[in-house]
């Protein structure tokens, strides 16, 4: 059987396991694997469009392929929002489950972060989840950027995340537009670390990065009941919202 089909069959019929051995919720039967990336070569970076491709590189360590943002992007946002963004090119989703492995490589401080972006329309219209060492109104929460500086939308979060507790952290985000649900899980897929409800954006891209820190992304899986190709053009050009 084709490896991707085998994975899809497994995901739709039984529980998955995260690296900590805990059972992860199964993928809904009407969802399919619409994007998979294990970063097996440097060409995998070509599948992403970024705010500044010069601060991203491909790497491999201990048998794990990844892409890494190693500096601050030279990028001018229209409204205050993260600098380092790399989006999966060529696919948009509305309802989805996104899984990946994340590794923060910067120094420890309150806003030490990795970010995940979703339902991304253009540089001033998107959601992102900011996972940081300490929570406040600008960190370790879910945010919406809707023509104005980022605004916190999560109604539940934790006190912060300990990036130094392990090398790689298992990430999962569940998005349902019809209910507005946004649930974020890290390492424990049974208990969300953040929850939000918002219906502002429907179709959009997904991606990874940081506000202005450094980090690595590996083992990306995107499941959705349906997907589509984005409109032609650069998603970081203002005014592409639909």
225-241 residue pLDDT tens:
999 999 877 888 754 44
Show the domains of the chain with their CATH numbers: 30-224 (2.60.120.560)
Query: Which pLDDT does position 238 carry in this prediction?
Result: 59
Which stretches of the chain are DSSP H helices? Answer: 3-13
Mind listing the pLDDT tens digit for each residue in 104-157? Answer: 999 988 888 999 999 999 989 999 999 999 999 999 999 999 999 999 999 999
Question: pLDDT grade, residue 187 (50/70/90)?
Answer: very high
DSSP-assigned letter for residue 164: G
Q: How far apart are CA 81 and CA 136, in angstroms?
A: 15
Question: pLDDT grade, residue 8 (50/70/90)?
Answer: very low
Bigger pLDDT: 21 vs 187: 187
What is the pLDDT of the chain when averaged over all its residues? 88
First-last CA distance in the chain: 39
Q: How far apart are CA 104 and CA 166, in angstroms?
A: 10
Asked if pLDDT for residue 102 goes beyond 70, the answer is: yes
Mind listing the pLDDT tens digit for each residue in 144-156? Answer: 999 999 999 999 9
Average pLDDT over residues 47-60: 95
Q: Where are the beta strands (DSSP E) in 105-204?
A: 113-122, 125-132, 141-146, 151-152, 154-156, 169-176, 181-186, 194-197
Q: Which of 17-31, 38-52, 158-172 has the lowest mean pLDDT?
A: 17-31
Q: How far apart are CA 104 and CA 208, in angstroms?
A: 12
User: Percent of the chain at pLDDT above 70?
Assistant: 88
DSSP-assigned letter for residue 112: -
- The answer to pTM > 0.85 is yes
Q: 87 is written with which tokens?
A: 């989006």
């Amino acid at each position: 059987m084709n490896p991707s089909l085998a994975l899809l069959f497994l995901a739709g019929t039984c529980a998955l396991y995260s690296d900590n051995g805990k059972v992860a919720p199964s993928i809904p039967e009407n969802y399919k694997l619409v994007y998979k990336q294990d970063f097996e070569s440097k060409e995998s970076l070509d599948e992403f469009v970024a705010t500044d491709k010069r601060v991203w590189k491909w790497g491999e360590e201990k048998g794990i392929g990844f892409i890494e943002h190693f500096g601050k992007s030279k990028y001018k946002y229209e409204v205050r929002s993260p600098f380092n963004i790399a989006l999966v090119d060529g696919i948009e989703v509305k309802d989805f489950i996104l899984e990946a492995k994340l590794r923060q490589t910067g120094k420890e401080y309150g806003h030490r972060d990795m970010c995940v972006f979703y339902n991304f329309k253009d540089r001033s219209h998107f959601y992102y989840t900011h996972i940081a060492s300490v929570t406040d109104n600008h960190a370790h929460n879910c945010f919406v950027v809707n023509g104005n500086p980022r605004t916190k939308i999560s109604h539940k979060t934790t006190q912060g995340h300990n990036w130094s507790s392990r090398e790689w952290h298992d990430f999962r985000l569940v998005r349902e537009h019809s209910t507005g649900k946004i649930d974020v899980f890290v390492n424990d897929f049974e208990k969300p670390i953040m929850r939000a409800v918002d219906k502002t954006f429907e179709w959009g891209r997904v991606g990874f990065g940081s506000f202005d820190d450094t980090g690595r992304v590996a083992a990306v899986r995107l499941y959705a009941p349906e997907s589509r190709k984005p409109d032609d053009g650069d998603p970081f050009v203002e005014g592409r919202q639909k």
